[in-house]
Amino acid sequence: MASNAAETLIGAVVLAVAAGFLYYASQVAGVSTGSGQYPLTAKFRSVEGLNVGSDVRLAGVKIGTLTGITLDQETYQAIAKISVDSEIKIPDDADIKVASDGLLGGAFLEITAGGSPFYLEPGDEILLTQGSVNLISLLMKFVGNGNE
């Protein structure tokens, strides 16, 4: 009888750990887009370094998640779909850029709020964007200009 109780207890612990891991993974990946969020889009020249699940930050505070990246086949721009917490109202003149956590850190989307009294509605597009900067190409331009 004691071995059955021990096996049941171990099985319950394994299931609890698995459920906790699934919850954590869904929060990090941005899979669970609940009713407390609304969608926005933005078009970028380059979203290099971003992945689905990357943070969306305003003033350094996480306010949302990158939920999808697709390619506009007419303009060859990347379309980023994000979800933002419904308590956060984004002015319609805000801009969004691809930023990084230091030299070797991961990339995230950073929103800078504008001063407009009007706010973006669910499904709207953030028009002012700045794509990611490729550090290697920047260094190559610097080195190339030094030889002239």
pLDDT tens for each residue of 42-53: 999 989 889 999
Is 45 in the same domain as 100?
Answer: yes
Q: Is residue 105 part of a domain?
A: yes
Residues 119, 136: one domain?
Answer: yes
- Residues facing 110 on adjacent strands: 57, 97
Tell me which DSSP letter residue 86 carries.
Answer: T
Task: With beta carbons less than 8 A apart as the criterion, state whether 53 and 103 touch.
Answer: no
- If asked whether residues 47 and 89 sit together in one domain, one would say yes
**pTM, rounded to two decimals:** 0.69
- 14 is in which domain, residue-wise? 1-32
Count up the domains in the chain and report the number.
Answer: 2
Q: In what order do the strands lie in the sheet with 107-112?
A: 125-126, 37-44, 77-85, 61-72, 55-58, 107-112, 95-100, 128-130
Residue 124 forms part of a structural domain: yes
148: in domain: no
Residue 32 pLDDT > 60: no
| Residue 40 pLDDT greater than 60, yes or no | yes
Are 12 and 76 members of one domain?
Answer: no
Which of 54, 137, 136, 67 lies closest to 97, judged by CA? 54
* Residues 66 and 110 reside in one and the same domain: yes
Q: Are residues 71 and 99 in the same domain?
A: yes
